[in-house]
Amino acid sequence: MPIINPVWKENELLGEIEYNRDLQSIIEKNTWHDLFGSPKWILMNPADEVVDFYQKYIVNPSNALRNRFTLTGKKLHDLGCGGGRHVYYFTERGFDVTGSDLSENAINHTRNELIKREQHADLHLCPMTELPFENNTFDVTISRAVINHSTLQDVKKVIFEVARTTKPGGLFFVTFSSERASDWKKGKEVDPDVSYIPESGPEKGLVHTFLNAGNTAALLEPFFRIEEIYLYEHPSWVTSAPGASDPNEYFGSEYVAICVRR
């Protein structure tokens, strides 16, 4: 049974979550679809935190870690796969990879790159709030810099979907924007002190949700045992693309959470 806490209502733990079901509006506000139309916006190297996760939890887990999760297979879901950098990374390491994204540009880029690399992965064009997968499908789910691009209610629905599609004992790697980021409280407020819509920059018009360590844990703990949460802070990753954030003004701050499905 999921664990009840003040962030979640009891009926939400059963999937009765109010979230944005208007797919057309989600697509129209997904500024990353247009950004992924330019290769300058597409990162190809895996994120350092994802590589660290792979090494620590999958390649060489300690005996203590090994006893706290169970991987019965190598089915991995990259939720919000973007240009496919983690799809390629895990495919090269023998995983049966599924990538999903709302952007057709992202999916097309990833599909073409897989052909060039002579690799195979299943790709799905879908919203992250409505995943087209059966319960308990994946051994591992990863989501890097994705689910923060939505309201708090939509984030809840995504977490519910990840919990539904990840096997008990499986791993979930996820990042959330933190309140230390330079774009916190910038733009139109949607949820007080939590969600904002930037009025300028490359992600103009796209909702962003910012968390602290406490509500990061509270969002996850009904469905997941948390192994670790840590801050990862960085300058802008993309500086040469048209309309990119000024690296002197942008400061990224994210919570990385690694969890085990209850």
Read off the pLDDT of residues 218-249 as tens digits, 9 standing for 90 and up: 999 999 999 999 999 998 989 888 888 888 78
For 249-261, write each residue's pLDDT tens digit: 899 999 999 999 9
Q: How high does pLDDT run on average in the chain?
A: 96
pLDDT at 1 over 80: no
- Token pair belonging to 117: 């690399």
Question: Quick one: pLDDT at residue 159?
Answer: 98
Largest CA distance in the chain: 48
Q: What is the mean pLDDT of residues 59-87?
A: 97
Question: Quick one: pLDDT at residue 240?
Answer: 84
Give one DSSP letter per residue of 136-174, joined into a string. T-EEEEEESS-TTSS-HHHHHHHHHHHHHHEEEEEEEEE
Question: Quick one: pLDDT at residue 241?
Answer: 86
Residue type, 12: E
CA 228 to chain centre: 16
Q: How many CB atoms lie within 10 A of CB 8?
A: 20
Question: Quick one: pLDDT at residue 249?
Answer: 81
HEC sequence for 177-204? EECCCCCCCCCEEEECCCEEECCCCCCC
For 20-60, write each residue's pLDDT tens digit: 999 999 999 999 999 999 999 999 999 999 999 999 999 99
The C-alpha angle 118, 123, 128, rounded to 5 degrees, equals: 150
Question: What is the C-alpha separation between 184 and 193, in angstroms, rounded?
Answer: 8
Question: Quick one: pLDDT at residue 3?
Answer: 83
List CB contacts of 211: < 8 A, sequence separation 6 or more.
148, 176, 177, 178, 179, 194, 219, 255
Question: Quick one: pLDDT at residue 214?
Answer: 95
For 137-174, write each residue's pLDDT tens digit: 999 999 999 999 999 999 999 999 999 999 999 999 99
